[in-house]
Each structure stands twice: as C-alpha cells, then as structure tokens.
Amino acid sequence: MANPHRTRDGAIWGAALGASSGAVLAGAPGAVVGALVVAPASALAKPGALWGRILSSTLLCALLGAALGVALDPLPVAILVGALAGALGLRVLKLALGLAVGVAVGLLVDDAALAGALTALTYRCLAAIAYRRRPLVRIMAEAVPADELRYVVPFEARTRRVGADYVEQLAQLEGGTFVRNPPDVGILASLEALNGPEFDAALVHPRIREFYEHTSRFKLSIVPEWRTWMKPAYELFKRVVAEPLGQAAIPSNIEEAQRGMVSTIDTISFAEDQIDIRGWIRTFADTGDPIYVGIYTSFRHEGRGYVSVGFPIPRSNFTATLEPRG
C-alpha cells in the first residue's frame, strides 16, 4: 500500500520542481506542463527508483543552468554542470565523463537552462549504463591491514538499499544468531569498557549511563529545526540520496516528525549469553521506513576506550569514532 505522506509530499515536491524548471525552459506554458507531469510522476515513484532520480537531477540542473546563465554562456554552464555531476560520482572517470558531456552539449545548445538539463540527463543515463554493476562509492586509497584499522566498523550493505532489516541480513551473512529488539538492551554493554585516563564511567550521571546501557528503555522523538539556507540543501539530499539508500533520512519538518519514530536495538550473537554486534535501528512508526541504521562497537587502544559507529551504505560505510572525555 502506498504511503499517503510520501505520495502527498512527492506530489508537492514534483509540482514545485516541475513548475519552476518548466518555467525556465519554456515560460508559463512550460510551468503548467511541468507541474502537471512531474507532480504525479514524483508521487507514484518508488523510493530510490533510478528514473525518478534522473528526472529530479535533470530538472534541478535546468534551474542551476538558468541561474548560471545570468552571467555565463551555455558552453561554460554545461561544463560546470557536467563537472559537478561527475564530481558527485567520486571517481576520476566520472568527472571526465561529466566534463566531456558538458562540452558536447554546450557546443550544441544555445540556452543555458536547456544546456544544464541536457547535460545532467545525458550524463546520468550514460553513467547508469556504464556503472550499473559497480559499487556506489569506490575511492582510490592505500590498502591498510585490518589490524591497523580497529576503529572501522567492517560492515557494508550488499544491496542498493540499506533498510530496517539490515542487521537480520547481516546475521544470515555472518552466521550469527539474530534477535530483534531484545528487552533491556543498550547500544553498549557497559560504559566501563570506555574507561581511560580521561574518562571514568563511575562519574557519569546515572540517567546518561542508563541510556547507553539500556537504550531500549527510552522512547525517541525528533523536533527538527533548520537554518533557512540549510533546509533546501537537506531536502535535496534526502530525496536524491538518503531516501533511496534507506540511510540518514531524518525528518525535515514538524509534520514529518509527527509520524512518530520507532527505536529498536537488534543484536547478533556468535555464542550463548553474549551479544557481539548491536544495531540501533530508527524507523518511521507509520511505514517502517528507515531513518538511521547504525552498528555500534567499542574497542580499546593504548589504555583508552572508544566507541565506533558504522553507518552502512552500498559496498561501503561511514564510520564515526568517539573518544569519551570528562
């Protein structure tokens, strides 16, 4: 069943994007046609659908092209849009592809908005074909032995979408015993594992310690407050990146936050009476769509304790390592 909140928000987003991009491409008639076409398309698109992401990128780059066209000719506009699109791919070859597409389109088109749109459309289609079976993120780096990277959470998503069932899938892959949201469990077994020269768990306020060691006792809510300049950027990130990935899709307004949040600690064990992996999953209460999926681990190095949180994404993850002090 379709999510009414997503359908409505998608229609509103699509109408605004279609109307504004249509206006810069073809004036008032373009605005009307854009709103009428893009609104239902955005409302009906499945989360992460490739065609939906390509459509959004194309229309957004039409707006970017129109803005850049105030000061630049179509050729440099197309080159800049191509460079931006390629740079977001995090690969030298994608950057080169974006620049090549920008030059080709810029030489053929004499309208800045159209140059931006066609550059984005052409690049996204070519990249989708050329990299359809490649990892989403792969950055050239130096190979380092695993024992030198104890702070890294070594888990990735093996599908294009992370999803709220990530820990269960990980348990099947690793051969461990999965338990969904066992009672009275926390993101850490004990804060004492973090003791060191600058941290003593005995001095932590009992309520704070309870949260870390018994997280499932707490209910979470979000009250989003955004700086004016930041909210549009996050809306774009959420629709183009976060929601398709099923990761880091936090509510962007009060109405969305009022849908409610479900917080669970899913665990994996490789031996009896011992939890080896803890995943903190936060989802929307009405749909079960993921907001955040994080894997929490702790380790010690040179007499200090650290917490590492891994946020899996396709074929990779982001790891944040925290050193407690105070």
Query: Which H helix or E strand runs over 265?
Result: strand 261-269
Query: Can you tell me which residue has the tokens 């052409």?
Result: 122
Contact predicate 90/2, CB 8 Å: no
Contact predicate 197/305, CB 8 Å: no
Which of helix, strand or coil describes residue 202?
helix
Q: Which two tokens stand for residue 100?
A: 């090549």
Contact predicate 66/116, CB 8 Å: yes
Q: How many angstroms separate the CA atoms of 213 and 93, rounded?
A: 46
CA 144 to chain centre: 26
Tens-binned pLDDT, residue by residue, of the chain (326 aa): 456 656 777 788 778 888 888 888 888 888 888 888 887 887 777 766 778 888 888 999 999 999 999 999 999 999 999 999 888 776 778 888 999 999 999 999 999 999 999 999 999 999 888 776 554 444 445 566 666 677 778 888 888 889 899 999 999 998 999 999 999 999 999 999 999 999 999 999 999 999 999 999 999 888 888 888 888 888 888 887 888 888 989 998 888 888 899 999 999 999 887 888 999 999 999 888 999 999 998 888 889 999 999 999 888 888 899 999 87
- The structural domains of the chain, with segments of one domain joined by +, span 4-130, 155-322
* pTM as predicted: 0.62
